[in-house]
Structure 1
Amino acid sequence: MTSDDLLARHRAVMPSWMPIYYEEPLELVSGKGRRVTGADGREYLDFFGGVLTNMIGYDIPEITDPVRRQLDTGIVHTSTLYLIRQQVELAEKIARLSGIPDAKVFFTNSGTEANETALLLATAYRRSNQILAVRNSYHGRTYATMGITGHRSWSASSLNPLNVTFLHSGDRLRGLLAHLDDDAHIDAAVADLREVLATSTAGDVAALIAEPIQGVGGFVSAPDGLFGAYRKVLDETGILFISDEVQTGWGRTGEHFWGYQAHGVTPDLLTFAKGIGNGFALAGVVGRADVLDAIDVVSFSTFGGNPVSAAAGNAVVDYVLNNDLQANAARTGAILHEGLAARTKDLGIVGEVRGKGLMIGIELIEPGTTRPNSYATVRVFEECRRLGLLVGKGGLYGNTLRMGPPLTLTDDEAREGLDILVEALTIVDGEVQA
């Protein structure tokens, strides 16, 4: 079978709205550490990790061995109608690590489902369907999560069961508050929140949901401390705060274990997914016990936190803590952030290098302007692959390179990836300005 055969078969049976990367789509057939091998026979350094999901890397014995041991028991699935030791042990770890007092945990299969559950809990607890969300955000592809997504490219329908009002994003390049310094930005954002509550809601809002760093939005983040300032306003009327940590959790930002910790605030609910399973389907919500217990009917997740995925989750959390991957993300992330800032400052297509730790975004522009340059983004994206590096792309205008390497990235691999990025950017900058 050739790659062309697989592509034709894919197009015949998969919906047209499922994107496939690259002019010549790539099938990945094996992986080891931070590297993958394609059906084309080439090896690539992976800086996207299955959209920040292969957080520990590929073929890591400390993860695969516990999963195999669980498989060897013959118990792949039981449902939560029975006690699941792996699930309980993982919930205990996450409750302790969450920073939320008296926390409980509910497991799901994906970040979308985790956010859907958080919305259900918040609206049930507050007896209100009013939600505050943030422009440029992404929270999932289901009916309710699509309604709180402030990114038109990902909102397939205007219909949703919630009454949603959007706050300003933290976009520092062209957002409405971009011209303000951090303190003035926070003051203006808080003033906007107060005005929104006074004018665009019925007052009894259920919750604010926000990503500490907007993932699909291109790794945009508001100034540190904004969520803490928001919280003072929310507490005046009991509005809950939900921190969407699907992409920012588990030490990826380097400076903190959770993204919310940069803001001097503790959320009522925190959603997690992606990296916790290192490729196995695992996600969930952790939060205040009284909010988790707000559902007064019978409910459960058939597959959420199943024995195999929970075994992977336990192994991932242990690996992150035992190997201090947060510190590794800070160190290797600094190599990339500082190197990109220094070595791309004279490239006209680079509008901004942003993010924290091993969340790196490079927004590309038309030289001399702030206009998005999607052409240059696609060219750099393809050049990176040609040079042996896999990256992602996104952002509100599709002009941001997104990178979330495994948290096990080595210093040498960070430098290798940096060199490829700079070379690809330099080649395309020369093309654009020729």
Structure 2
Amino acid sequence: MSYVASRLSAIRPSASMVASQAAKALRATGVDVIDLGLGEPDFPTPDHIIDAAFRAARAGETLYTAPAGTPALRAAIAEKFRRENGLSFGPDDVTVANGAKQIIFNALMATLEPGDEAILLAPYFVSYPEMVKLLGGTPVTVECPAETGFRLTPELLEAAITPRTKWLFLNMPGNPSGAVYSRAQLEALGAVLARHPSVLVLSDEIYEHILFDGREFVSFAAACPELVERSLVVNGVSKSYAMTGWRVGYAAGPAPLIKAMNVVQSQSVTSVCSIAQAAALAALEGPQDHVARFRAAFEARRDLVVAGVAKIGGLSLPAPDGAFYAYIGCGALIGRKTPQGTVLADDAAVADYLLKHGRVSSVPGVAYGLSPYFRISTATGEETLTEALARIDAAVGALE
């Protein structure tokens, strides 16, 4: 007797969670492992956000909310889009969910028909293809190599669109690459999409505030206002405000799409935790100085890792434009032998070797659709990153 639905047969668990769990399992045996598999800030949630949650709980804000979120939070989100992105959305154009991942899940559940295609840009966030497959769609992978800055070009986009294309996924800054698009680059993609009016755009902008080298963030919908009626702008408080565990994501888009997503939410989780919504409201409306402080720390960590990887023979790392990951090229390690005589056949083998021999947890590039690479999170302290780089250097140096 099988308890598992057939639709799960092609779905893989989150690769970053798998890597983190493997690190925890080794730690449980007494092995000192540095876990760089999961991407979440190591900063505590700012005090004023925690205080707002406490006050909300004390005030009795502990009941169900509307599936779309509280009116106050949706108004604050609409104001955030106006203030920071130059986008005009009303409260009915906004929805709140348990993290940006659930926003994406709800959107796909509400729109995908069997066989509909979603264009994913490799390297992509590990959950994108699995959610598309789980909800009856077909992922179409477009490889965006380091030579393109890990960015989609208009030519690649045009070649990938078919009559079955339902969604184009954008992620900027990108996880795992850190790639960022300029306004001109987004406009060039918009010109292609203008010729294909049935294609929807999901712009995942969760790392919006984590930009380096003085770059300016431009939302896809702001760069291509003529496409706003078929764009879903996804964001949340997890990364910029160090609130990963609070699980609050949000999105804005065409009212009919948002309404359909709210129907999905009403029949799944009902709503987001009311206290977490109060915290998210405080994050968006309160002091923003910590956002800049976090960003500066992430940039310093980026610089440390880029400089460290440059000193390790056989590895390469173009400086990421944003986010807090390093997508490290390891092609020169493929085919080399470990001290135990095992040949490293691919980047999955490299990541496994770094975990068991170097005691550093990473995620192989195959999980992101583009090999040979491995991803480490740089969202941890400089002392930890320095030690991790030393361990990786020693492990690479031990290869034959």
Please give the per-residue CA displacement for 1:144-200, whole angstroms capped at 9, x wherever unaligned: x6253xxxxxxxxx66433x462523221xxxxx4xx669x86xx422332343xx3
Give the alignment of 1:75-114 within 5 angstroms: 75-80=61-66, 84=70, 86-96=72-82, 97-103=84-90, 104-114=93-103
Indicate whether 1:243 and 2:243 are aligned: no
Change (3 A) 1:327 1:377: same
RMSD: 4.5
Indicate whether 1:22 and 2:6 are aligned: no
Change (3 A) 1:234 1:121: farther
Alignment-mate amino acid for residue 403 of structure 1: S
Q: Distance in 1 between matches of 2:311 and 2:163?
A: 46
Q: Which structure 2 residue ranges, 5 or more long, are not aligned? A: 1-12, 336-344
2:119 and 2:142 in contact (8 A); partners too = no
Q: Distance in 2 between matches of 1:278 and 1:366?
A: 33
Partner of 1:6: none
Change (3 A) 1:115 1:425: same
Q: Distance in 1 between matches of 2:14 and 2:288?
A: 43
Q: Distance in 2 between matches of 1:262 and 1:92?
A: 14
Alignment-mate amino acid for residue 241 of structure 1: V
Indicate whether 1:335 and 2:300 are aligned: yes
Partner of 2:365: 395
Please give the per-residue CA displacement for 1:347-379, whole angstroms capped at 9, x wherever unaligned: 223132543344221425254669744444345
Alignment-mate amino acid for residue 313 of structure 1: A
Partner of 2:351: 377
Indicate whether 1:285 and 2:251 are aligned: yes
Give the alignment of 1:44-55 within 5 angstroms: 51-52=39-40, 55=41
Partner of 2:234: 271
Partner of 1:211: 171
1:79 and 1:302 in contact (8 A); partners too = no
Q: CA deviation at 1:222?
A: 7.4
Partner of 1:428: 395
Q: Distance in 2 between matches of 1:92 and 1:110?
A: 17
Q: CA deviation at 1:80?
A: 0.9
Please give the per-residue CA displacement for 1:51-83, whole angstroms capped at 9, x wherever unaligned: 32xx47236422322212222223323231799
Q: Distance in 2 between matches of 1:139 and 1:258?
A: 23
1:116 to 105, 112, 115: 105
Q: Which moves more between the two structures, 304-313 or 333-342?
A: 333-342
* Partner SS for 2:172: coil
Indicate whether 1:229 and 2:188 are aligned: yes
TM-score, normalised to structure 2's length?
0.69
Partner of 1:4: none
1:86 and 1:307 in contact (8 A); partners too = no
Q: Distance in 2 between matches of 1:56 and 1:106?
A: 27
Partner of 2:315: 350
Q: Distance in 2 between matches of 1:92 and 1:263?
A: 14
Partner of 1:201: 163
Alignment-mate amino acid for residue 118 of structure 1: A
Q: Distance in 2 between matches of 1:333 and 1:102?
A: 30
Partner of 1:410: none
Greater percentage in helix = 2
* Partner SS for 1:402: strand
Change (3 A) 1:345 1:256: closer
Q: Distance in 2 between matches of 1:23 and 1:47?
A: 11
* Partner SS for 1:65: helix
Indicate whether 1:192 and 2:156 are aligned: yes
Indicate whether 1:314 and 2:281 are aligned: yes
TM-score, normalised to structure 1's length?
0.65
1:228 and 1:265 in contact (8 A); partners too = yes
Q: Distance in 2 between matches of 1:263 and 1:171?
A: 26
Q: Distance in 2 between matches of 1:131 and 1:213?
A: 19
Q: Distance in 2 between matches of 1:26 and 1:111?
A: 30
Q: Distance in 1 between matches of 2:141 and 2:324?
A: 23
Change (3 A) 1:304 1:81: closer
Partner of 1:12: none
Partner of 2:57: 71
Q: Distance in 2 between matches of 1:418 and 1:101?
A: 41
Alignment-mate amino acid for residue 161 of structure 1: G
Change (3 A) 1:136 1:221: same
Indicate whether 1:252 and 2:210 are aligned: yes
Q: Which structure 1 residue ranges, 5 or more long, are not aligned? A: 1-14, 28-38, 149-157, 173-177, 407-412
Q: Distance in 2 between matches of 1:88 and 1:262?
A: 18
